[in-house]
Chains A and B, each alone.
Chain A
Amino acid sequence: MIKLENVFKTYTLGKNTINAIDNLSMEIKKGEFVAIVGPSGSGKSTLLHLIGGLDHPSKGNVSLLNITLAKLKDSKLAEYRNKHIGFVFQNFNLQPILTAAENVALPLVFANFGSKTRKQKALQALKKVGLDDRADHKPAELSGGESQRVAIARALVNDPQILIADEPTGNLDSKTGDKIMNLFKKLNREQNITVIIVTHNMEDAAFADRQIKMRDGVILKS
C-alpha cells in the first residue's frame, strides 16, 4: 500500500548537506499499525511528511495506493492529502475560532461538500471518538485529551485509508495518552485504517503491530 524506494531527503545547511532520509526503502501494508521510533533528528518526522504528501523526496520514489506522489502537482497533492490521509498533530492544531464540529468539518470544506453533509459527517466522526456531545464547544473549552480526540475526528471525517500521527500523546498526560493510543488501536482494528505514528515514547510504540526504529535517516530495525 505504501512503498518507498531508495528515498533520499537532503537538506543543505551552509556548506554541509545532510541526508535526513538516506537511501530508505520500506513498505507498509494496508491495515497495519506502525510506530516509527527513534531519537530526535533521526528523520522520523521527515519520513512521515513524505508519506503524508507534505514533502517531496530529493531522490527516489514514494508511492501510495499505486500513485507516485512525485508526479502529482501541488493541487493534486492537496487533494490526495484531503481524501486519503488523516493528520493528527502533537499540538492538536484546532482552529480556535471554530467549534469542535466546525473544526472536524474543515477538510470537507476543501473537498466541496455542502454544509448539510458536512455537519452530518462531522457529527459521525465525533461519535467515533466519543465526543458528539461536545460538538458545539470551542477548543478553549475542551481538555487536552478531548482536543486530541476532536483532532482525530477531523482526521477521520473524510474516511481516509491512512491515519498519520506525529507525537499524538506528546502534550498529554500518560493516562490520557493511553486513551488516545487505545482509540488509534480501535480505529485500526474496527475500521481497518492504516495507522502510522511517530513517537519516542516506547509505551505508545507498544500499541503498534510493528515498530520501525530509525537513526540518522536510515532504518535500524523494522
Chain B
Amino acid sequence: MKVIDILPIAYRNLTRRKTRTFLTSFAVFIGIFLLTVMISLGLGVRTWLLNMITGQMEYTRITVAQEGTMSGGTFSSMGTGQGSLVGEEELNKKVISQTVVDEISKFDHVTQVQPMTMSIPKSAKLEGQEKEITNIMGFGFDVLESDTYIKGVLAGSMHNWYQNKNNVLVSQHFTDTYQVNPQDVIGKKLNIRFAKEGSGGMMFMNNSGGEEIVIEQIIVAVIDVGEDQLNYALPLEKEIEVKVSKKENTTKEDYLENTGYPFLYVNTDDLSNTKEVAKKIKEMDFDAITVEDLIGMINTIFIVIQAVLAIFGLIALFVASIGIINTMIMSIYERTKEIGVMKAIGATNANIRMIFITEAGLIGFLGGVAGAFFGYFSAYGLQVFLNIYLKNIGESSQNFFTFPWELAVGSIFFAVLIGILAGLYPASRASKLDPIEALRYE
C-alpha cells in the first residue's frame, strides 16, 4: 500500500467529522502560528539590529575600550570620557593612554588608530537663536569624513573639517531640534557650554551654578548619522582641550596618560587580520571587539530569545498533539468495525497503522499550512502597523519583517511530524485490534 493511495482516503475520513477535524487541527494551527510569528519576529529584529550595527561600522575595525566596559556586547557603561559616570582611576584598570595608542599603531596590519571621545555638555546655543538646547551629546573624532558611520552630508562640506579645531559638525538631530534647514546653519557659530569638574556641573545636571567653559565653533557641515544619538562632532584635539581645561591643575600630557581615551577605533588592512590584532590588544588587558564578535554576540543573544519564544509555540504544539491523540482514539472507537473489515479483506497491521498515521499527519499538515500562512501575514501586518506607529511618532520606518521560505516549509514539516508522532500510539492500537472482535463491534 502506497501513501499516495491512502492520502485521499485519509482526507475523506477526516471530512467525515469536519468540526472535530477543524478543532483538532486548529490547536496545531495556533502552535505553528505562534512559532512562525515568534521566529519571524526574532529573525527580523536580529537582522535589523545587525544591519544597524554593521552598517555604521567598518568591517576591518576593532573597537577598543577599557577592560570590562564592553561586556555582553553592550556599550552601556562606556562612560563619557569625563570620568564622571565611572571613576576610571578608581577602577584601577589600564587606561587607553597616548602611549597605548602609539603602541597599537606599531602593530602589524594596523593601518590607523583613531582615538575617540564623547562629551555631554551643559548646553549649546546656535547663533541668532534664543534657544539653548540641552541633553546633547558630542564626539571628538577626526576621521568621520570617510567613515561608514556617516550616512550622508546634508549640507556644507566635511573636507578636512578637523584640521581647523574651531570647526564643528552637527547632525540632523541638531537641526531638527532647532527646526532649521541644514543649509541655513553652515558658517554659523555654535556656542557649547561645559561645566567644570568639581564645580557641581555633573553630567545630566544643568544647574547654572559653578564654573563653566564655553567654546565657540563654526558649523561646517550637517551630517546624517542615521539612528545614532550624536548631536555634534568636534575635532579630537578640541575635545581633549576642553577635557583638560575642565580639570584643575592638569596638562594635556598628564590627561592623556592618566585619563586617556574612553575608546579607540583600530583599523586593520584586511578582515582576515582583525582577529589577530584584536587578540593582541586583549593581551594588553583591554576590551577589543571586532564586528565579527559583535555579530556573534547578537546571534547568541537572539538564539536565547528565540528559544524562549519558541518554547511558547512548542507548548501549544504539545497540547495540540494531545488533541490529535484524543481525536484519533475516538476515531478508532467509531471505526472499529471498519478496521475489522479492512483486515478481513487483506489489510495488514502495517497498513492499518499507516492509514491512521497518515490521518494524524494530515491533521498536522492542515494546521501547519494554515499556521504558516497566517503567521506570514501576521508578521507582515505587524511590520506594517509598527511602521505606521513609527511614522506617527516621527521616526523613520524600519524593516523588521523576515519570513524566509525555509521557515514556512520547516514549520509545515514540523506540524506534520507532530501529527505523525501523536498518531503513533493510536495507530498502533488500531493495528493491533483483533479482526474478529472488531467485526463483532457495534
Residues in chain A within 8 A of chain B (CB atoms):
49, 52, 54-55, 74-75, 78-79, 81-83, 87, 89, 93, 95-98, 106-107, 109-112, 115, 154-155, 158
Contact = CB atoms under 8 A, between A and B. Distances in A.
Contacts of A96: 16
B436 interface: yes
Nearest to A90: B439
Interface residues of B, number: 26
Q: Which 9 A-B pairs have the closest CB atoms?
A: A82-B346, A78-B348, A93-B341, A97-B12, A107-B345, A87-B344, A110-B346, A75-B348, A54-B435
Nearest to B348: A78
B341 to A, nearest CB: 4
A107 to B, nearest CB: 4
B436 A75 contact: no
Contacts, number: 72
B238 interface: no
Given A98-B9, A110-B1, A110-B351, A81 B338 contact: no
Given A87-B344, A98-B9, A74 B436 contact: no
Nearest to A106: B345
B342 to A, nearest CB: 7
A75 B343 CA distance: 10
B256 interface: no
Interface centre among A97, A115, A154, A155 (most CB of B within 10 A): A97
B387 interface: no
A55 B439 CA distance: 12
B436 A49 contact: yes
B345 A89 contact: no
A200 to B, nearest CB: 17
20 contacts: A75-B349, A75-B350, A78-B349, A78-B351, A79-B346, A79-B348, A81-B344, A82-B345, A82-B346, A83-B346, A95-B341, A97-B12, A106-B342, A109-B1, A109-B6, A109-B9, A110-B346, A112-B2, A154-B345, A155-B345
A111 B5 CA distance: 11
B13 interface: yes
A78 B347 contact: yes
Interface of B: 1-2, 5-6, 9, 12-13, 15-16, 337-338, 340-351, 435-436, 439
A126 to B, nearest CB: 16
Interface centre among B2, B16, B435 (most CB of A within 10 A): B435
A87 B340 CA distance: 11
Interface centre among A49, A98, A110, A154 (most CB of B within 10 A): A110
B436 A81 contact: no
B348 A158 contact: no
Contact of B348 (A49, A95, A110, A115): A110
Nearest to A95: B338
Contact of B12 (A55, A75, A98, A155): A98
Contacts of A74: 348-349
Contacts of B435: 54
B3 to A, nearest CB: 11
A158 B342 CA distance: 14
A78 B341 contact: no
A118 to B, nearest CB: 8
Contact of A87 (B15, B345, B350): B345
Contacts of A97: 9, 12-13, 15-16
Given A75-B348, A75-B349, A98-B9, A93 B338 contact: yes
A195 B378 CA distance: 63
Given A79-B348, A95-B338, A109-B6, 8 more contacts: A55-B436, A78-B347, A81-B343, A93-B337, A93-B439, A97-B16, A110-B1, A110-B345
